[in-house]
Chains A and B, each alone.
Chain A
Amino acid sequence: VSESEAAWQDALLAIRVAEVARHRIGGIHLRARAGPVRDIWLDHFHATLTDAPIIRFSPEVDEGRLLGDLDLARTLAEGRPVLSEGLLTRADGGAVVLAMAERAEPTLCGILAGAMDTGTIRAARMAGESHPARFTLIAMDEGAEPDERLPVALDDRMGLRVDLSAVSWRIATGDLTVPAPASLDFADITMSDPMLTALTTAAMQAGWQSMRGALWLSVVARIVAALNGAQEVAPEHAASAIRLVFGPVTVAEETEEPAQEQPDDQPPPPPPPPPDEAESDSDDPLDLDPETLQDMLIAAEAMRTMQLPILLPADVAGAQGRGSGKAGALKALEPTRSLVRAKRALGRLPGGGPTPLADGMAKALELSTRILREGSTPLLVMMTDGNGNIALDGTANRAQSREDVAALSRHLACQPMRRVMIDISARPRDTARTFAAGLHADYVALPRADASSVSRLVSTYMQDR
């Protein structure tokens, strides 16, 4: 069975599982670009809901339309306030198809999440009577960029994941069909305690913090067993459930390997370097230990309270013998209003190792372009000594790295934003000043950068805008 075939088989199985579970499974997170394969899948899904309503809308939908609002024409005609029926009430007993779900704003997510939790909605106006709204949500996610993804509030409430990106049109139009309906009621299917424990552990290990992961697994495993005519959940049913609930690809986020794509003619980076042999030729390597890394949290906190986006590429260079074997030391921190998330992102920042300054700057350029496009003004804060030794292509080529850095500096200097470079090396030197000048950034030397000094500096810059 090819990968494409296996993915399509799971996608069709998900349809049948959703049909059995209805609103009790929350919904299906459907990752696919618009196209014939997705249309074929939706046709199959529609076919399982013959009499039930299917309501489709995009994230720009008006809240009044969702929940029910004053019907002006009828109100004036009848001389009494008349409420129109909300879209979510119309979807009761059927499905809601949310196109471009990755663009859903918090308010829409909150409304949908509330309806999914309670099975009811309240009209946006007047006395706000509650109406039934039990539906399966099909969240169509076309997200391509890392920042385009289904909001957590919705994703957590989706019991099934389908990814059609690997499915070819030939497979989708082939003979595979939706599995036959079950003759057994899944509520009658038993599951042994060790099996339940295994599924719960799987959800935990996949990093699914809320309880929903384990709940979805236990429901889906029993439905799959019922579809196969089994009275009890067997390991193969559990395996299917894990694929359907977690999705075909489980991304392990934190296992970044050091730069592997070293061409043969380049010396590989030496992880772990012995204490006196750091690859930096600087005689005063930046002394950034994990505690200093935490400094950047302060800036993240400033960003949170000011509710303004900020860029924080953190250059963690040449810490001797520390954090051996970790690359990607330089990282552009996504703007976030959540301190919890900022902490997590920064907690993963490795210290020491080679200094891919150019890579960090490229990420900063990408991020600042995005923020500017969204209509906000970022503040670029760089903590570095300006010495990079890894080029953009990942090679340990100092000359190339210098060229990359210079080119990126020119690009960043053109962005309409304020830039500040914090030189945190123990003995500030000219290379850092030159770097700051090339970047058109203010140069600030903070040889003993501690939490409060970085925080004060960043806050001052943010208030100045």
Chain B
Amino acid sequence: VVAGGWSGDPAPFFDAITCDPDKPDAACDHCQSLLPKGKRRKVSAPVIDLPLGASEDRVVGALDLEKALVSGEKAFEPGLLAAANRGFLYIDEANLLEDHLVDLLLDVAASGVNVVEREGLSVRHAARFVLVGSGNPEEGELRPQLLDRFGLSVEVASPDSVADRVEVVKRRDAYDRDPEGFAKAYKARESKIRNRIAKAKTAVGDITMPDETLAIAAELCLALGVDGLRGELTLIRAARARAALDGDDTVTRAHLLTVAPSALRHRLRRDPLDEAGSTARIDRAIAALDAGS
């Protein structure tokens, strides 16, 4: 919920309040200056693509050339990080991203603040976003430091069975023939899922997390040797979201175990000797937990 118009371009967006208007104390300087006069209306959360080959100017923001040229004014033109605030930043082929951009993202993702010191500008603004990245590990893997910034990790592989593959080809063909009709055919199913997520979002704050469940999370992380607490915190948060999605009001062991592979698989120390891979290791740890209890 922000004030001002959102048209998909970062520039007009930044004229508006991009921090949470309900938490004025936590807002950045820019938004605090705008807060008293801001008018409120609902806009969609931004989903921003970070394309490979994007210049650093475009990611962090830079001197507004038009204003500089036309009126000699020194103004800041916000970049993609500003546009993604309170929304999503999506990087396709994240593993191919150039190192200098990765370093930049790492710092902003950790602090939630983008600090711009360039071309005589000195600007700080909020940049809190959900980082979504995709890539093919065969073309190169993500640096562990960047991998750790992702809360959840999902493995998507092409289907193994001929029947499933044939179905994919058929659906793709159906889409090519009639994109709108195809989207319509799945609309009911998709809006059902969306409603379920929306309901869960409002409920997630009121979910109870019993101590027993917390203990299982700790035990699992210890057994797997997960570094740091980030994994454990993510696991707990994800389990709470899962309970909300299932329409339950208490987080159970089952909720926790369903989300454990996604929350932990990318945080395990690599064991190249273990052919089974991270997911199987988590399954084994869960089985051991079961045997012990």
Contact = CB atoms under 8 A, between A and B. Distances in A.
Whether both chains belong to one complex is answered with yes
A193 B273 contact: no
Interface string A129-172: 10000000000000000000001110000000000000000000
A124 interface: yes
Tell which of B70, B80, B273 has the most Cβ of chain A within 10 Å. B273
A300 interface: yes
Contacts of B65: 70, 75, 81, 126
Interface stretch (A36-44, A208-216, A350-358): A208-216
A215 B96 contact: no
A294 B273 contact: yes
A364 B159 CA distance: 37
Given A70-B65, A114-B92, A197-B162, A301 B53 contact: no
B272 interface: yes
Nearest to B70: A79
Given A211-B168, A301-B270, A111 B57 contact: no
B158 A218 contact: no
A124 B136 contact: no
Contacts of B136: 152-153
Indicate the size class of the contact surface on chain A.
35 or more
B162 A114 contact: no
A52 B165 CA distance: 35
A339 B93 CA distance: 17
B98 A107 contact: yes
A106 B92 contact: no
Interface in B243-262: none
A122 B51 contact: yes
Given A218-B173, A339-B141, A75 B53 contact: no
B290 interface: no
Nearest to B270: A301
A465 to B, nearest CB: 20
A301 B272 contact: yes
Contact of A214 (B168, B176, B177, B270): B168
A128 B65 CA distance: 14
Contacts of B173: 218
Interface in A56-100: 63-64, 66-67, 70, 75-76, 79-81
A339 B273 contact: no
Given A151-B139, A215-B172, A338-B138, A200 B55 contact: no
B54 A200 contact: no
Interface in B157-209: 158-159, 162, 165-166, 168-170, 172-173, 176-177
A80 B69 contact: yes
B52 interface: yes
Given A67-B53, A215-B172, A339-B270, A114 B158 contact: no
Contacts of A76: 69
Give the interface SS of chain A, mostly helix, strand, loop or mixed. helix
Contacts of B169: 196, 200, 211, 214-215, 218
A114 B139 contact: no
Interface string B98-142: 100000000000000000000000000000000000001111110
Contacts, number: 138
Contacts of B93: 110, 113-114, 153
Contacts of A152: 136, 138-139
B40 interface: no
B58 A128 contact: yes
A106 B139 contact: yes
Given A107-B96, A110-B96, A187-B177, A122 B49 contact: yes
Interface string B33-51: 0000000000000000101
A177 interface: no
A126 B162 CA distance: 46
Contacts of B272: 294, 297-298, 300-301, 339, 342-343
B181 to A, nearest CB: 14
A337 to B, nearest CB: 5
A233 to B, nearest CB: 12
Interface of B: 9-11, 49, 51-55, 57-58, 65-66, 69-70, 77, 80, 92-93, 96-98, 136-141, 144, 158-159, 162, 165-166, 168-170, 172-173, 176-177, 270, 272-273, 275
27 contacts: A63-B53, A63-B55, A79-B69, A80-B69, A80-B70, A81-B66, A106-B139, A110-B53, A110-B97, A114-B93, A122-B51, A152-B139, A197-B162, A200-B162, A211-B158, A214-B168, A215-B168, A218-B169, A297-B273, A301-B270, A301-B272, A338-B138, A339-B270, A340-B137, A343-B272, A343-B275, A451-B273
Given A79-B70, A340-B141, 9 more contacts: A63-B53, A66-B53, A67-B51, A81-B66, A110-B52, A124-B55, A126-B58, A214-B169, A339-B141
